[in-house]
């Protein structure tokens, strides 16, 4: 708690105020409250100012203060008029509460972390999000690693968006999508007459990314000849368009990505060691979706929201059973595959929530083959079928072993297989199964 | 030529940069003001405000409290941040022109500077306070303390 006089100078500062602000009362008393308190509310929403103007208290207004170490402390304040013994207004009194713990608890309950367009509940991603602002602020080359579909380009765009170059262009090039000769002219550009058909100058992608960021996806696919040229660009920060004798400055930040093991490629000689060390300055590794399944509901909601906007639909969400199926899927295609699944569900689901019947067949068929004449099966059946198939495969189609693994009697297993339409293998696995 | 931005509120240095709305812009040459202007910081996010300061061509920002990530971003935008300053706008400007910004009276409470070998000292332990003691500076690269030209612009590292 602290009190101020009518000139906004602090007249009293208690021990709790010292603890929360980190300021000794001897430093605080006599100073203007805004210089001591340093709150987000001082300039435009000062509770004390309102109270002294209207005579009415302000209760529980939330904001933050900034301590001397630059940390933000979330707080809530309440204010009242301060009177002397004669009842005259001599200033104001403000009590405030440190909401840091409450805020941490709220974040934990909500359990989601967000940086730019990236959103996650996963602790793996949280670690990544914590370092992302520093990664973005640095001018160094970033190597983004991750399986196909893990969102490497989204990550690159986020880094660009947070970086000092965010007003400049973001130019993405998929190196694996161009034949070698075309990739070179695409990246570096060419001068008129450089080769047959080069009628006029063409700026390369490096030139187009001037002042911004160039993102080179699938960097592991480029030829060794082009690797040499790229190394020169990264070392000397100049590009030489085909047919030109004058190097052009490459004023752009370089982000590269690959789903391949560059260290292994380097060992095999398929990727230049010097280029590997040049691109591997800052490394960002994106976990596959199967390692962050807690993000599936969040991502599904995000895609539903996007497709609703793009297709002017009003799909409300996803049913629990359909979500169970999404959670059980291994997602080899990662987030891109999930996005495709949601997009395809929009074909069948015109309104309401996406149900099991709206999901693409590969998701439901993988769980259990569709029985002739059967109608839509429940999510539970599909999950049961998936578990049974998996146990059978794992136990070389030995049904007794599979039943044991599933914790059910083998006759129950037979009955369930029949009900779910799981075909019995031609030969029981008992003969070949080693116990 | 140096261009500096002072975030202001009610004729004083605004207490918190993260939510500041007005900025006074000062261009100097040989320690004298050659041009002055004011601008509004209508941007919502603190990082966008820092970006705006850079876009206004300012290499120096004199401000009140600033949260650490925002200060780091501002530094990444090429801005030298002199933070946790307080006081009357005109007095702070004059002190900056004369390289006196490290005077105790311009420090926000709890941001006292500790002496360090005649070079203006360094902020207290755990403190993020200001460029004082690190990038202490007046216009045109003059140091806030010690002989003019010494110290300013050197050893400045955003925390």
pLDDT (tens digit, 9 = 90+) per residue, B4-29?
A: 999 999 999 999 999 999 999 999 99
Q: Is A138 found in the same domain as A74? A: no
Q: Are residues A159 and A249 in the same domain?
A: yes
> What pLDDT, on a 0 to 100 scale, did the predictor assign at position A130?
82
Would you say residue A391 lies in a domain?
yes
Residue A254 sits at the vertex; the CA angle it makes with A249 and A259, to the nearest 5 degrees, is 145
Same domain, A351 and A265: no
Average pLDDT in chain A: 86
| Residue A271 sits in the same domain as residue A304 | no
Is residue A67 located within the same domain as residue A31?
A: yes
Q: What is the CATH number of the domain that holds A140?
A: 3.40.50.300
A434 lies in some domain: no
Judged by CB atoms closer than 8 Å, whether chains meet at A23 and B109 is answered as: yes
Q: How confident is the model at residue B51 (pLDDT cuts 50, 70, 90)?
A: confident
Domain closes at, from A103, A133, A151: A103
Q: Residue range A19-23: average pLDDT?
A: 93
Lowest mean pLDDT among A119-133, A261-275, A400-414, B105-119: B105-119
Task: List residues in chain B touching A: CB distance below 8 A.
Answer: 9, 12, 14-16, 18-21, 47, 51, 54-55, 64-69, 71-73, 75-78, 84, 86, 108-112, 124, 126-129, 159
Write down the domain spans for chain B: 2-141
Give yes or no: residues A258 and A377 share one domain.
Answer: no
Same domain, A260 and A145: yes
A63, closest residue in chain B (CA to CA):
B19
Task: Tell me the nearest-neighbour CA distance from A68 into chain B, angstroms.
Answer: 5
Asked whether residue A108 is domain-assigned, the answer is no
Same domain, A142 and A262: yes
For A72, nearest residue in chain B (alpha carbons): B67
Q: What is the pLDDT of residue A406?
A: 84
Give φ, ψ of A114 to 5 degrees: -140, 135
Q: Which two tokens stand for residue A58?
A: 């302000």
Sign of torsion, CA A347 A348 A352 A353? negative
A58 lies in the same domain as A118: no
Do A96 and A127 reside in the same domain of the chain? no
In a domain, A427, yes or no: no
Count of structural domains, chain A: 3
Residue of A nearest to B79 (CA): A164
Range of the structural domain that residue A358 is part of: 291-420
Q: Note the pLDDT of residue B123.
A: 37
When pLDDT is averaged across residues B127-142 and rounded to a whole number, the result is: 49
pLDDT tens digits, residue range A256-266?
Answer: 999 999 999 99
Give chain A positions within 8 Å (CB) of B67: 66, 70-72
Fold of B2-141: Nucleotidyltransferase; domain 5 (3.30.420)
Q: Is the confidence at residue A428, as pLDDT, over 60?
A: no
Domain assignment present for A51: yes
Q: Is residue A332 part of a domain?
A: yes
> Is residue A75 domain-shared with residue A132, that is, in the same domain?
no
Does the residue A426 lie in any domain?
no
Domain with residue A359: its CATH number is 1.10.8.60
Q: A267 and A129, same structural domain? A: yes
* Rounded mean pLDDT, B52-65: 94
Among A285, A305, A336, residue at a domain's last position: A285
pLDDT digits (tens, 9 = 90+) for A66-98: 999 998 898 999 999 988 888 888 999 999 999
> Is the CB of A43 less than 8 angstroms away from the CB of B128?
no
The answer to whether residue A22 scores a pLDDT higher than 90 is yes
Q: What is the mean pLDDT of residues A350-364?
A: 85
* Whether A72 and B67 lie within 8 Å, measured CB to CB: yes
- pLDDT (mean) for B31-43: 92
- 3-state SS, residue A360: coil
Residue A195 domain-assigned (yes or no): yes
Q: Which of B46, B60, B61 is nearest to B13 (CA)?
A: B61
- Distance (Å, whole) CA A365 – CA A356: 11
Examine the pLDDT at A212 and tell me if it is beyond 90.
yes
Which pLDDT score, from 0 to 100, does residue A194 have?
A: 74
Q: At A107, is the pLDDT very low, low, confident or very high (cuts 50, 70, 90)?
A: low
Complex ipTM: 0.80
Instruction: Name the band, by pLDDT with cuts 50, 70 and 90, for residue A325.
Output: confident
What's the pLDDT at A105? Answer: 67
Per-residue confidence (pLDDT) for residue A94, from 0 to 100: 94
- How many angstroms separate the CA atoms of B9 and A125, rounded? 39
CATH of the domain at A55: 3.30.450.20
Q: What does the pLDDT read at residue B154?
A: 31
């Amino acid at each position: 708690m602290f009190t101020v006089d009518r000139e906004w100078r602090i007249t009293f500062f208690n021990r709790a105020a010292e603890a929360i602000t980190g300021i000794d009362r001897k430093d605080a008393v006599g100073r203007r409250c805004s210089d001591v308190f340093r709150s987000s509310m001082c300039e435009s929403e000062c509770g004390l100012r309102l109270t002294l103007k209207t005579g009415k208290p302000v209760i529980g207004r939330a904001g933050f203060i900034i301590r001397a170490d630059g940390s933000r402390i979330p707080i809530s304040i309440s204010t009242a008029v301060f009177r002397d013994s004669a009842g005259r207004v001599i200033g104001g009194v403000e009590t405030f509460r440190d909401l840091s713990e409450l805020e941490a608890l709220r974040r934990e309950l909500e359990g989601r972390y967000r940086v730019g367009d990236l959103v996650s509940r996963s602790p793996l991603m949280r670690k990544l999000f914590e370092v992302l602002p520093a990664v973005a602020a640095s001018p160094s080359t970033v190597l983004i690693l991750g399986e196909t579909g893990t969102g490497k380009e989204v990550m690159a765009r986020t880094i660009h968006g947070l970086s000092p170059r965010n007003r400049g262009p973001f130019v993405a090039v998929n190196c694996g999508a161009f034949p070698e000769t075309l990739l070179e002219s695409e990246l570096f550009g060419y001068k008129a007459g450089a080769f047959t058909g080069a009628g006029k100058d063409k700026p390369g992608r490096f030139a187009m990314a001037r002042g911004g960021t160039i993102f080179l996806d699938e960097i592991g696919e480029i030829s060794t000849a082009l690797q040499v040229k790229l190394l020169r660009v990264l070392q000397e920060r100049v590009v030489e368009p085909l047919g030109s004798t004058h190097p052009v400055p490459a004023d752009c930040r370089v982000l590269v990505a690959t789903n391949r093991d560059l260290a292994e490629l380097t060992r095999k000689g398929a990727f230049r060691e010097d280029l590997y060390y040049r691109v591997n300055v800052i490394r960002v590794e994106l976990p596959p979706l199967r390692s962050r399944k807690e993000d599936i509901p969040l991502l599904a909601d995000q895609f539903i929201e996007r497709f609703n906007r793009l297709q002017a639909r009003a799909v409300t969400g996803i049913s629990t059973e359909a979500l169970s199926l999404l959670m059980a899927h291994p997602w080899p295609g990662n987030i891109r595959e999930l996005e495709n699944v949601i997009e395809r569900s929009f074909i069948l689901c015109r309104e309401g929530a996406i149900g099991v019947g709206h999901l693409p067949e590969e998701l439901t068929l993988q769980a259990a083959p569709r029985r002739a004449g059967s109608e839509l099966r429940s999510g539970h059946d599909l999950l049961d079928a998936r578990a049974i198939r998996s146990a059978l495969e794992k136990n070389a189609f030995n049904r007794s072993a599979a039943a044991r693994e599933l914790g059910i009697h083998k006759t129950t297993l037979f009955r369930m297989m029949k009900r779910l339409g799981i075909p019995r293998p031609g030969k029981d696995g008992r003969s070949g199964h080693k116990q | 030529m140096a261009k500096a931005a002072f975030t202001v509120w009610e004729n004083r240095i605004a207490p918190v940069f993260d939510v500041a709305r007005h900025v006074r812009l000062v261009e100097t040459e040989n320690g004298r003001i050659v041009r002055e202007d004011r601008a509004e910081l209508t941007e919502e996010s603190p990082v966008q405000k820092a970006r705006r300061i850079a876009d206004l061509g300012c290499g120096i920002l004199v401000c009140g409290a600033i949260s650490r990530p925002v200060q780091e971003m501002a530094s990444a935008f090429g801005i030298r941040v002199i933070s946790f300053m307080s006081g009357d706008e005109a007095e702070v400007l004059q002190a900056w022109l004369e390289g006196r910004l490290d005077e105790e009276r311009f420090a926000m409470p709890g941001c006292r500077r500790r002496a360090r070998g005649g070079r203006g000292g360094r902020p207290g332990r755990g403190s993020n306070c200001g460029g004082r003691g690190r990038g202490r500076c007046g216009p045109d690269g003059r140091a806030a303390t010690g002989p003019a030209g010494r110290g300013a612009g050197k050893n400045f590292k955003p925390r």
